[in-house]
Amino acid sequence: MSHASYESLNADRIKSAMSATGQIALHHLALYQQLDSTNSELQRQAANGAPSGTACLADCQTAGRGRRGHIWHSPPAVNLYLSLLWRYSLPPAALAGTSLAVGAVVAEVLQAAGGNDLHLKWPNDVLWRGRKVAGLLLEVSGNSQGSSFLIVGIGLNVHMTAAVDNEITQPWIALADIVERPLNRNQIAGQLLDALINALECYGREGVAPFLTRWRQFDAWIGHPVQLICANQIINGIHHGIAEDGALLLKTANGMRTFHAGEVSLRKQ
Protein backbone atom coordinates (compact mmCIF):
# COMPACT_ATOMS: atom_id res chain seq x y z
CA MET A 1 0.00 0.00 0.00
CA SER A 2 1.86 2.97 -1.28
CA HIS A 3 1.44 6.71 -1.37
CA ALA A 4 3.13 8.15 -4.43
CA SER A 5 4.89 11.47 -4.30
CA TYR A 6 3.05 14.51 -5.64
CA GLU A 7 2.48 14.40 -9.36
CA SER A 8 0.91 17.33 -11.19
CA LEU A 9 -1.88 16.76 -13.68
CA ASN A 10 -0.64 16.63 -17.26
CA ALA A 11 -2.87 16.55 -20.35
CA ASP A 12 -0.38 14.62 -22.51
CA ARG A 13 0.06 11.93 -19.86
CA ILE A 14 -3.70 11.65 -19.39
CA LYS A 15 -4.25 11.23 -23.13
CA SER A 16 -1.45 8.69 -23.44
CA ALA A 17 -3.36 6.45 -21.01
CA MET A 18 -6.35 6.48 -23.38
CA SER A 19 -7.17 4.33 -26.40
CA ALA A 20 -6.96 5.81 -29.90
CA THR A 21 -10.76 5.89 -30.20
CA GLY A 22 -11.04 7.54 -26.78
CA GLN A 23 -8.54 10.22 -27.77
CA ILE A 24 -10.52 10.97 -30.94
CA ALA A 25 -13.82 11.28 -29.05
CA LEU A 26 -12.25 13.50 -26.39
CA HIS A 27 -12.94 16.83 -28.02
CA HIS A 28 -11.20 19.07 -25.49
CA LEU A 29 -9.42 18.47 -22.18
CA ALA A 30 -8.76 21.42 -19.86
CA LEU A 31 -6.78 21.23 -16.61
CA TYR A 32 -7.19 23.79 -13.85
CA GLN A 33 -5.23 24.36 -10.70
CA GLN A 34 -8.41 25.43 -8.91
CA LEU A 35 -12.10 25.63 -9.79
CA ASP A 36 -15.31 26.11 -7.85
CA SER A 37 -16.44 22.75 -9.25
CA THR A 38 -15.58 20.82 -12.41
CA ASN A 39 -19.30 20.13 -13.00
CA SER A 40 -20.14 23.83 -12.60
CA GLU A 41 -17.37 24.72 -15.08
CA LEU A 42 -18.80 22.33 -17.68
CA GLN A 43 -22.32 23.68 -17.06
CA ARG A 44 -20.99 27.10 -18.02
CA GLN A 45 -19.16 25.72 -21.06
CA ALA A 46 -22.22 23.71 -22.16
CA ALA A 47 -24.36 26.86 -22.00
CA ASN A 48 -21.85 28.45 -24.39
CA GLY A 49 -22.18 25.55 -26.83
CA ALA A 50 -19.23 23.34 -25.85
CA PRO A 51 -19.36 20.10 -27.84
CA SER A 52 -19.76 16.53 -26.66
CA GLY A 53 -16.50 15.12 -25.35
CA THR A 54 -15.43 18.27 -23.49
CA ALA A 55 -13.69 17.34 -20.23
CA CYS A 56 -12.01 19.15 -17.38
CA LEU A 57 -10.04 18.30 -14.27
CA ALA A 58 -9.09 20.47 -11.32
CA ASP A 59 -6.32 19.92 -8.81
CA CYS A 60 -8.60 21.34 -6.14
CA GLN A 61 -12.22 22.55 -5.87
CA THR A 62 -13.45 25.39 -3.69
CA ALA A 63 -17.14 24.42 -3.99
CA GLY A 64 -17.12 20.71 -4.85
CA ARG A 65 -20.61 19.24 -4.96
CA GLY A 66 -22.02 15.82 -4.14
CA ARG A 67 -25.53 14.52 -4.55
CA ARG A 68 -28.54 16.07 -2.80
CA GLY A 69 -26.70 19.31 -2.06
CA HIS A 70 -23.86 17.74 -0.11
CA ILE A 71 -20.38 19.28 -0.15
CA TRP A 72 -17.62 17.21 -1.79
CA HIS A 73 -14.41 17.96 0.11
CA SER A 74 -11.70 18.60 -2.44
CA PRO A 75 -8.21 19.09 -0.98
CA PRO A 76 -5.44 19.89 -3.50
CA ALA A 77 -3.03 17.50 -5.18
CA VAL A 78 -4.20 14.21 -3.64
CA ASN A 79 -7.40 13.24 -5.48
CA LEU A 80 -9.09 13.38 -8.87
CA TYR A 81 -11.92 15.81 -9.63
CA LEU A 82 -13.00 15.14 -13.19
CA SER A 83 -16.05 16.03 -15.30
CA LEU A 84 -17.09 15.10 -18.84
CA LEU A 85 -19.81 16.65 -21.02
CA TRP A 86 -21.77 14.41 -23.38
CA ARG A 87 -24.58 15.44 -25.74
CA TYR A 88 -27.45 13.20 -26.85
CA SER A 89 -30.28 13.42 -29.37
CA LEU A 90 -32.46 11.88 -26.67
CA PRO A 91 -34.86 13.55 -24.22
CA PRO A 92 -33.55 14.00 -20.65
CA ALA A 93 -35.83 11.26 -19.32
CA ALA A 94 -34.03 8.71 -21.53
CA LEU A 95 -30.79 9.34 -19.63
CA ALA A 96 -32.10 8.05 -16.26
CA GLY A 97 -29.95 4.92 -16.48
CA THR A 98 -26.66 6.70 -17.15
CA SER A 99 -25.76 6.72 -13.43
CA LEU A 100 -25.69 2.90 -13.47
CA ALA A 101 -23.63 2.78 -16.66
CA VAL A 102 -21.12 5.24 -15.20
CA GLY A 103 -21.02 3.54 -11.79
CA ALA A 104 -20.30 0.18 -13.39
CA VAL A 105 -17.40 1.41 -15.53
CA VAL A 106 -15.83 3.48 -12.73
CA ALA A 107 -15.89 0.42 -10.46
CA GLU A 108 -14.33 -1.64 -13.27
CA VAL A 109 -11.51 0.87 -13.78
CA LEU A 110 -10.71 0.94 -10.05
CA GLN A 111 -10.86 -2.84 -9.90
CA ALA A 112 -8.44 -3.07 -12.85
CA ALA A 113 -6.12 -0.69 -10.95
CA GLY A 114 -5.99 -3.28 -8.17
CA GLY A 115 -8.97 -2.32 -6.02
CA ASN A 116 -10.57 -5.52 -4.76
CA ASP A 117 -13.71 -5.74 -2.59
CA LEU A 118 -15.30 -2.74 -4.30
CA HIS A 119 -19.05 -2.41 -4.43
CA LEU A 120 -21.65 0.02 -5.70
CA LYS A 121 -24.29 1.70 -3.59
CA TRP A 122 -27.30 2.65 -5.68
CA PRO A 123 -27.45 4.91 -7.48
CA ASN A 124 -23.81 5.96 -7.74
CA ASP A 125 -21.35 5.62 -4.88
CA VAL A 126 -18.27 3.39 -5.15
CA LEU A 127 -17.46 1.84 -1.78
CA TRP A 128 -14.74 -0.39 -0.38
CA ARG A 129 -15.96 -2.45 2.58
CA GLY A 130 -18.57 0.20 3.30
CA ARG A 131 -16.25 3.20 2.97
CA LYS A 132 -16.61 5.61 0.07
CA VAL A 133 -13.70 5.72 -2.36
CA ALA A 134 -15.48 7.57 -5.19
CA GLY A 135 -18.66 9.55 -5.67
CA LEU A 136 -20.44 10.39 -8.90
CA LEU A 137 -22.57 13.42 -9.69
CA LEU A 138 -24.56 13.21 -12.93
CA GLU A 139 -26.47 16.28 -14.08
CA VAL A 140 -28.86 16.16 -17.04
CA SER A 141 -30.16 19.20 -18.92
CA GLY A 142 -32.18 19.53 -22.09
CA ASN A 143 -35.64 19.81 -23.55
CA SER A 144 -38.38 17.21 -23.68
CA GLN A 145 -38.46 17.41 -27.50
CA GLY A 146 -35.38 15.28 -27.74
CA SER A 147 -31.96 16.82 -27.25
CA SER A 148 -30.09 16.80 -23.97
CA PHE A 149 -26.67 16.87 -22.44
CA LEU A 150 -25.17 15.05 -19.52
CA ILE A 151 -22.35 16.16 -17.25
CA VAL A 152 -20.64 13.30 -15.44
CA GLY A 153 -18.61 14.34 -12.41
CA ILE A 154 -16.29 11.99 -10.55
CA GLY A 155 -14.59 12.64 -7.25
CA LEU A 156 -12.03 9.92 -6.54
CA ASN A 157 -10.01 9.71 -3.34
CA VAL A 158 -6.56 8.69 -4.59
CA HIS A 159 -3.91 9.63 -2.01
CA MET A 160 -5.96 11.54 0.55
CA THR A 161 -5.06 10.92 4.18
CA ALA A 162 -6.96 11.72 7.37
CA ALA A 163 -4.39 14.45 8.04
CA VAL A 164 -5.40 16.12 4.77
CA ASP A 165 -9.14 16.02 5.26
CA ASN A 166 -10.67 15.20 8.62
CA GLU A 167 -13.83 17.21 7.84
CA ILE A 168 -15.58 14.33 6.08
CA THR A 169 -18.22 12.91 8.37
CA GLN A 170 -19.01 9.65 6.55
CA PRO A 171 -16.60 6.69 6.34
CA TRP A 172 -14.16 7.08 3.43
CA ILE A 173 -10.94 5.56 2.15
CA ALA A 174 -8.33 6.43 -0.48
CA LEU A 175 -7.56 4.14 -3.40
CA ALA A 176 -3.88 4.13 -2.37
CA ASP A 177 -4.88 2.43 0.89
CA ILE A 178 -6.51 -0.53 -0.84
CA VAL A 179 -4.18 -1.02 -3.83
CA GLU A 180 -0.79 -2.71 -3.55
CA ARG A 181 0.86 -1.02 -6.54
CA PRO A 182 1.87 2.65 -6.93
CA LEU A 183 -0.88 4.86 -8.34
CA ASN A 184 -0.52 7.51 -11.00
CA ARG A 185 -3.24 10.19 -11.09
CA ASN A 186 -2.74 10.98 -14.78
CA GLN A 187 -2.98 7.33 -15.76
CA ILE A 188 -6.16 6.77 -13.72
CA ALA A 189 -7.69 9.96 -15.16
CA GLY A 190 -7.00 8.73 -18.70
CA GLN A 191 -8.42 5.30 -17.96
CA LEU A 192 -11.55 6.85 -16.41
CA LEU A 193 -12.09 9.19 -19.37
CA ASP A 194 -11.60 6.33 -21.80
CA ALA A 195 -14.10 4.11 -19.99
CA LEU A 196 -16.62 6.94 -19.65
CA ILE A 197 -16.46 7.87 -23.33
CA ASN A 198 -16.92 4.23 -24.31
CA ALA A 199 -19.85 3.83 -21.90
CA LEU A 200 -21.63 7.05 -22.90
CA GLU A 201 -21.31 6.23 -26.62
CA CYS A 202 -22.67 2.73 -25.94
CA TYR A 203 -25.53 4.15 -23.85
CA GLY A 204 -26.56 6.37 -26.75
CA ARG A 205 -26.88 3.30 -28.99
CA GLU A 206 -28.21 0.65 -26.59
CA GLY A 207 -29.42 2.33 -23.40
CA VAL A 208 -28.86 0.88 -19.95
CA ALA A 209 -29.28 -2.80 -20.89
CA PRO A 210 -25.58 -3.62 -21.56
CA PHE A 211 -24.61 -2.23 -18.15
CA LEU A 212 -27.08 -4.04 -15.87
CA THR A 213 -25.03 -7.22 -15.45
CA ARG A 214 -21.85 -5.21 -15.01
CA TRP A 215 -23.48 -3.10 -12.28
CA ARG A 216 -24.99 -6.13 -10.53
CA GLN A 217 -21.52 -7.69 -10.16
CA PHE A 218 -20.72 -4.90 -7.71
CA ASP A 219 -24.09 -4.86 -5.91
CA ALA A 220 -23.33 -6.05 -2.38
CA TRP A 221 -26.70 -5.02 -0.96
CA ILE A 222 -29.01 -7.70 -2.35
CA GLY A 223 -31.05 -9.37 0.39
CA HIS A 224 -30.03 -6.80 3.01
CA PRO A 225 -32.50 -4.65 4.91
CA VAL A 226 -32.11 -1.04 3.83
CA GLN A 227 -33.62 2.30 4.58
CA LEU A 228 -34.57 4.68 1.80
CA ILE A 229 -34.81 8.35 2.56
CA CYS A 230 -37.20 9.68 -0.04
CA ALA A 231 -38.01 13.39 0.35
CA ASN A 232 -39.20 13.55 3.98
CA GLN A 233 -40.22 9.92 4.10
CA ILE A 234 -38.24 6.92 5.36
CA ILE A 235 -39.06 3.59 3.72
CA ASN A 236 -37.73 0.33 5.14
CA GLY A 237 -37.43 -2.83 3.11
CA ILE A 238 -35.19 -5.51 1.65
CA HIS A 239 -32.94 -4.52 -1.25
CA HIS A 240 -33.84 -6.65 -4.28
CA GLY A 241 -31.33 -5.25 -6.72
CA ILE A 242 -32.08 -3.13 -9.79
CA ALA A 243 -34.85 -3.30 -12.37
CA GLU A 244 -34.26 -3.46 -16.13
CA ASP A 245 -34.59 0.33 -16.34
CA GLY A 246 -32.03 0.84 -13.55
CA ALA A 247 -34.57 1.62 -10.83
CA LEU A 248 -34.02 0.30 -7.30
CA LEU A 249 -36.22 -2.65 -6.29
CA LEU A 250 -37.30 -2.64 -2.67
CA LYS A 251 -39.46 -5.29 -1.04
CA THR A 252 -41.51 -3.43 1.55
CA ALA A 253 -44.36 -4.31 3.91
CA ASN A 254 -46.64 -3.12 1.10
CA GLY A 255 -45.03 -5.31 -1.56
CA MET A 256 -42.34 -4.68 -4.19
CA ARG A 257 -41.73 -1.02 -5.02
CA THR A 258 -39.40 0.71 -7.47
CA PHE A 259 -37.50 3.95 -6.94
CA HIS A 260 -35.57 6.06 -9.43
CA ALA A 261 -32.24 7.85 -9.07
CA GLY A 262 -32.26 11.25 -7.49
CA GLU A 263 -35.07 10.46 -5.07
CA VAL A 264 -33.45 8.41 -2.42
CA SER A 265 -30.54 7.65 -0.19
CA LEU A 266 -29.64 4.17 0.91
CA ARG A 267 -28.49 3.04 4.35
CA LYS A 268 -27.76 -0.48 5.47
CA GLN A 269 -29.72 -1.05 8.66
Q: Which CATH number is 256's domain given?
A: 2.30.30.100
Based on the fold, state whether residues 104 and 191 are members of the same structural domain: yes
Q: What is the pLDDT of residue 124?
A: 79
Q: What is the pLDDT of residue 68?
A: 59
- Domain assignment present for residue 1? The answer is no
- Domain assignment present for residue 142? The answer is yes
Q: What is the pLDDT of residue 36?
A: 92
- Domain assignment present for residue 4? The answer is no
Based on the fold, state whether residues 45 and 176 are members of the same structural domain: yes
Q: What is the pLDDT of residue 62?
A: 85
Q: Indicate the pTM of the whole model.
A: 0.92
Active site residues per annotation? 67, 132, 267
Q: Which CATH number is 202's domain given?
A: 3.30.930.10
CA angle 181, 186, 191 (to 5 degrees): 80
- Count: domains in the chain: 2
- Domain assignment present for residue 235? The answer is yes
Pick from 194, 203, 192, 199: which is nearest to 88 by CA?
A: 203
Q: What is the pLDDT of residue 267?
A: 67
- Domain assignment present for residue 6? The answer is no
Q: How far apart are CA 232 and CA 80, in angstroms?
A: 33
Based on the fold, state whether residues 139 and 230 are members of the same structural domain: no
| Alpha-carbon torsion (88, 92, 98, 102), positive or negative | positive
Based on the fold, state whether residues 166 and 238 are members of the same structural domain: no
Based on the fold, state whether residues 79 and 207 are members of the same structural domain: yes
Based on the fold, state whether residues 111 and 242 are members of the same structural domain: no
| DSSP-based three-state secondary structure for 60 | strand
Pick from 22, 88, 77: which is nearest to 55 by CA?
A: 22
Q: How far apart are CA 72 and CA 80, in angstroms?
A: 12
End of a domain among 189, 216, 243? 216
Q: What is the pLDDT along the chain (269 residues), one digit of tens a residue?
A: 444 456 899 999 999 999 999 999 999 999 999 999 999 999 999 999 999 999 999 999 987 776 656 666 667 778 999 999 999 999 998 998 999 999 999 999 999 999 999 999 888 789 999 899 999 999 999 977 779 999 999 999 998 877 566 666 778 899 999 998 889 999 999 999 999 999 999 999 999 999 999 999 999 888 888 888 877 788 889 999 999 998 999 999 999 999 885 556 666 65
Residue range of the domain that includes 205: 11-216
End of a domain among 199, 216, 233? 216
